[in-house]
Every structure is written in C-alpha cells, then in structure tokens.
Chain A
Amino acid sequence: EVVLTQSPATLSLSPGERATLSCRASQSVSNYLAWFQQKPGQAPRLLVHGASYRATGVPARFSGTGSGTDFTLTISSLEPEDFAIYYCQQRSNWPLTFGGGTKVEFK
C-alpha cells in the first residue's frame, strides 16, 4: 500500500500569505497524484490532478508540482475562502490512498 504523508498537519497563516503544503509517497506514484480541498460540512473538491494540472474552475493561485514521491501544493496568496483542509491522493496503485490532510487555519 502506498502511504501518503502530508506535512505540516496544520499551517497557521494570514490572508495574503503564501501556503506551501507537502505530500510524500512511500513509493513512486509517477504523476498520478491529486489534491483536494475540503471545507467544514462539505464534500471534497478536486483542485489539482496529474500532480500539476488545475481542475476546471480552480483559481490560478493554486499550483501543484512534483513527481515520483515528493509533491507540493502552493497557494500563492491566501484568500479568506482558502482556509480549509487539503488532502493529497494517489491513483497509481491499488488500494487508492489519501494523505492525512493539512489544515490551513487563520493565524
């Protein structure tokens, strides 16, 4: 099973700041890595697929990089609506797995 480790668990930032979220895989997942955003009481929303491709309608301040085992989601300048939990997920191998999540909270 591919284990995805996200860090940090919590990121305390202010609007306008840059957020850098990490996801590390226990073995290579090539570029089969996606990022999701989840707000309280809502279903997750796909942000990035194929490690670096923004999903339809996702603002350009969100960007994904990486391949193999190390991946990063960057939010260039936090907007108030970006404070949420972010999950990475791999579809390279069965079972499909998610990371434990990074909570981006107001500082």
Chain B
Amino acid sequence: EVQLLESGGDLVQPGGGSLRLSCAASGFTFSICAMNWVRQAPGKALEWVASISGSADATYYADSVKGRFTISRDNSENTLYLQMNNLRVEDTAVYYCVRRSGGWGDFDLWGQGTLVTVSS
C-alpha cells in the first residue's frame, strides 16, 4: 500500500526543547521523490516547512524555521526526518509528511500527521 506514516510528535517545553520527527514511506520508489514537511497550527491554514530532493542534494526551508529545523532522509530505510531544535510556542502544530509527484511536482500523497505541542 502506498502510504506515509509519521511519528515522533510529543509535548516539549519552549526555549531550547528539541524533537525529531520521522516519516516511514512505503509502496513507492522513495528515492526518486522530493519529500516535504507541511504543518498546520490549531485552527489555522497549512504552512510549508521544508523540502528535500530525492538524492538529498538540495534542501529548502521556510524563513520561520531556517536555522532551527533540519530536513533529512535515509533512502536505504525509506524514511524522512525533521530535526526540530530551539522549539517555540508558535511551532505547535500537526506536522504532515508529504510527497511531491514526479520529482518537484505537486503534493500528491500526505501522511496522517503527528502533533507537536510546545508548551510549559
């Protein structure tokens, strides 16, 4: 079955807390797909967070997370990661792992999301 399964969401304290999200991909050729993280704060719109090319030679970040978050992937394990450091209250959101079709195409496959709560 073609699917993305996120894990790693948790409650963390602001001002220095860290978390690593994982996304296990199955049912498709992971290594040729650009992968992404998109988040959604409670009751808010979708926000793109980061993207990585299939071969991991190119990464892109939203300004709101640049320097704090790192996207990476392990193509041998079909897994996408998001290392989140120096978490802030405003990072509280459901984080979705998303595939882009045909390389840098459209967001055509979404995971179910994992909730990150940053609160004291």
Q: How far is the CB of A74 from chain B (nearest CB, A)?
A: 19
When A94-B60, A95-B60, A95-B62 are in contact, do A43 and B45 touch as well, CB less than 8 Å?
Answer: no
A43–B96 touching, CB < 8 Å? yes
Q: Please tell me the number of chain A residues within 8 Å of chain B, measured between CB atoms.
A: 21
Place the interface of chain B in its size category: 20 to 34
Residue of A nearest to B51 (CB): A96
Residue B47 interfacial (CB < 8 Å): yes
Residue A44 interfacial (CB < 8 Å): yes
When A43-B112, A49-B106, A55-B108 are in contact, do A96 and B45 touch as well, CB less than 8 Å?
Answer: no
When A89-B46, A100-B45 are in contact, do A44 and B110 touch as well, CB less than 8 Å?
Answer: yes
Q: Which A residues are in CB contact (< 8 Å) with B9?
A: none
Residue B63 interfacial (CB < 8 Å): yes
Q: Which A residues are in CB contact (< 8 Å) with B106?
A: 34, 46, 49-50, 91
For this complex, 12 residue pairs linking A to B, each with C-beta atoms less than 8 Å apart, are A34-B107, A38-B46, A43-B96, A43-B113, A46-B108, A89-B46, A91-B106, A94-B60, A96-B36, A98-B47, A98-B48, A100-B45
Q: Which residues of A contact B (CB under 8 A)?
A: 34, 36, 38, 43-46, 49-50, 55, 87, 89, 91, 94-101
